[in-house]
Amino acid sequence: MPETIDTRGLSCPEPVILVKRAIDRDRFPIEVTADSQTAKENVTRMAIHSGCSVTCETQGDTFLLRIDRGV
């Protein structure tokens, strides 16, 4: 079952910290809901830097990120 993290309404660096903790606990896949472009970009950048793969789907003003272990 995926780890689900809802970062809507949180300001940086909170979304990045929450997702980094899930990555460090090896909780894959991780599904992140974000409501700002900044949170989406920062979480994506951190996840890729941590060796993960990231896919993003946009639904209106919400971004749905799926983070998996890197290949």
Predicted pLDDT of residue 59: 94
Find the helix packing angle between 14-24 and 37-49, rounded to 10°: 30
Distances (CA, A) of 45 to 1, 39: 24, 10
pLDDT on residue 2: 87
Do residues 32 and 24 touch, judged by C-beta distance below 8 A? Answer: no
Please tell me whether the peptide bond between 2 and the residue prior to it is cis, using omega within 30 degrees of 0: no
Q: How far is CA 20 from CA 12, 25, 41, 42, 64, in A?
A: 13, 9, 14, 11, 16
Question: The whole model's pTM is what?
Answer: 0.93
Domains delineated in the chain: 3-68 (3.30.110.40)
Q: What is the pLDDT of residues 4-63, one digit of tens each?
A: 999 999 998 999 999 999 999 998 999 999 999 999 999 999 999 999 999 999 999 999
